[in-house]
Chain A
Amino acid sequence: MKQIYVGLTGNEAVATAFKQARPHVAPAFPITPQTEMMHKFADFVADGAVDTEMILVESEHSAMSAAIGSAATGARTFTATSSAGFALMWEVVYIAASLRLPICMPVVNRALSGNINIHNDHSDAMGGRDAGWIQLWCENTQEAYDHALMCWRIAEHKDVRLPVMINYDGFIISHTSESLHILPDEDAWKFIGPKDLKTGYSLLDMDHPITVGPLDLTDYYFEHKVSQIEALKRAPKYIAEVYKEFGQLTGRHYSFFEEYRTDDADLVIVALGSTAGTAKDVIDAQREKGVKVGLLKIHMFRPFPAVELAKALSKAKVVGVMDKSASFGGWGGPLFNEIRSALYDLPARPKIHNWIYGLGGRDTDTKQIVALIEQLQAIAKGREAETVNLLGVRL
């Protein structure tokens, strides 16, 4: 298969992947920085490149509600959002997962108000981490495109049947044109394939009527929650399978997390999203100076690969977890808490510290990451440090 080398923004790349997935239905409501993705997709629809039924709804709550109705009939369905839009659809985000509907949704990560800020951090998606969705995170436009192809295979797998959220950084990825390889439409379609409509049930199957989302009280609610828990536990196996097949097809190999120069690393940075790329350049420069530092970048945050992560981090002396969201009143950011908890059962734990960074799109440059690595070095030498720290802020 010959891939096509193009320059696309993250939003254009994801819209292209979704065009190639030929969804049946796409409810849409605009919010920066997601808007451009749906705009581009609407162009594809208007040009006849894909025959998706677009529903222009009046809010994000309605977008997700319409997506739920659509997906419950068996239709391949997506919507997209950011920030306050994600917050507004909150109630129904949980319902999509509870009903085990394979909806795909890019969350083009943006800060939450207030004050009003259109730029990137991870506060929006982190708030939804317990909603029962699979959460996949991307470093650049290539990864956003690739995950926007793979998400369908994961969401619609008969043993998974869960909604998938694809996270990519607002503006930094969504509005940046980057060079990437895309698949020809036919090859993308061969990989994704038509949605299997034989789920065994459909809202519109008049011969076999079903009830969706009824009252579920003390008698069965708990059991239904357990079935969601179990579905998320099963998901990694199939995510790994899809990653493997995609790697064989494209030469781009993904795993639950990427380990960059961690083999002999005493110091390991853990990050999500676009900052991981900047960190790789800094790590290369530090390695030339003899600093044994590496990076662990997480793709699959939900379900959280705790056992695998603990194993991967077990050889490090100091782990620095970067959180691009604050957990107000909590002890460190959400990623830090998960990683730190995952390490608890190790016989010998690395030291682990947290850095909150980049809130509201504050530029995270190489100097900040160099400063972080210097702090990790000092901690490795025995210097006392705060558990939770800040990076790149005026104090």
Chain B
Amino acid sequence: MAAATTEIRWHGRGGQGAKTAAIFLAEAVLDQGKHSQGFPEYGPERRGAPVRGFTRISDAPIRLHCSIAEPDYVIVLDPTLLDSTSAGVPDGASADTVFLINTVESPANIRKRLGIKGGKVHTVDASLIAQESFGRPIPNMPMIGALAAVADVITLENLVASLVVRFKKKFSQAVIDGNVTAVERAYKELVSE
């Protein structure tokens, strides 16, 4: 491969915005001149069913058209997925994989529960932040804010700018402001080891 590609895997449940997050992030990084790919894994489309999303980001054109088996970042939108074997949260993680978990628990607890030895674990209560910021516990946007704090794929400024532009087409100013607040809070409130 010509240039390093960052591979991100999203784990959520139907309705939490894993697909939206995977694609939103892919499109948001384009403003920084990056190449990207964002795609969900399609199965039975049921609210509440485990859903995975995938984002690839690179400085070079991306040619891979397969699932992400060995992610650089694993982002979990729903902490109940940590106990689900079929959700496969730790699958394919290497010693360098970084975990971002939406939970009230500490990184140390999550590390124990997932049985992760290497890598890094960060936690943030994204559902609470979302609830307080825009009145619905949809954690996907704050989790992208948390990612911006630990990954060199998008700056907080670019993320916020992109969010404002893309949300303008669909949402009221109040919803946009709430999401910006949520992204900024998660960026700051992320708990690291």
Contact = CB atoms under 8 A, between A and B. Distances in A.
B66 A365 contact: yes
A364 interface: yes
Contacts of A7: 23, 26-27, 30, 36, 38
Interface stretch (B57-65, B78-86, B98-106): B57-65
B42 A171 contact: yes
Nearest to A175: B39
Contact of A284 (B2, B35, B36, B42): B2
Contact of A366 (B23, B30, B62, B66): B66
Contact of A177 (B1, B34, B38, B65): B38
B192 interface: no
A177 B23 contact: yes
Nearest to B24: A177
B65 A277 contact: yes
B62 A178 contact: yes
Majority DSSP secondary structure for residues of B touching A: loop
Given A5-B30, A118-B42, A179 B64 contact: no
Interface in B8-52: 23, 26-27, 30, 34-40, 42
B165 interface: no
A240 B80 CA distance: 55
A6 B40 contact: no
Contact of A179 (B35, B40, B69): B35
Interface in A263-316: 274-275, 277-278, 280-281, 284-285
Q: Which interface class (under 10, 10 to 19, 20 to 34, 35 or more) fits B?
A: 20 to 34
A177 B42 contact: no
B42 A119 contact: yes
Nearest to A364: B66
B168 to A, nearest CB: 16
A274 B27 CA distance: 20
B64 A177 contact: no
B64 A281 contact: yes
B39 A284 contact: no
Nearest to A6: B30
A375 interface: no
B26 A277 contact: no
B40 A284 contact: no
Contact of B1 (A139, A140, A281): A281
A278 B65 CA distance: 5
Contacts of B38: 7, 176-177
A239 interface: no
B173 interface: no
A60 interface: no
A281 B30 contact: no
Interface string A342-371: 000000000000000000000111100000
Contact of B65 (A118, A119, A274): A274
* Among A5, A7, A173, residue most surrounded by chain B Cβ atoms (within 10 Å): A7
B67 interface: yes
A274 B65 CA distance: 6
Interface in B72-94: none
B67 A363 contact: yes
Contacts of A165: none
21 contacts: A6-B30, A7-B30, A118-B42, A139-B63, A140-B63, A140-B65, A175-B40, A176-B65, A178-B62, A179-B34, A275-B65, A277-B65, A278-B64, A278-B65, A278-B66, A363-B66, A363-B67, A365-B67, A365-B69, A366-B64, A366-B66
Closest 6 CB pairs of A and B: A7-B27, A277-B63, A274-B65, A176-B39, A365-B66, A177-B38
Given A6-B30, A169-B65, A177-B23, 13 more contacts: A7-B23, A7-B38, A119-B42, A139-B63, A139-B65, A177-B26, A177-B36, A178-B37, A178-B62, A179-B30, A179-B37, A278-B65, A281-B1
Interface of A: 5-7, 9, 118-119, 139-140, 169, 171-173, 175-179, 274-275, 277-278, 280-281, 284-285, 363-366
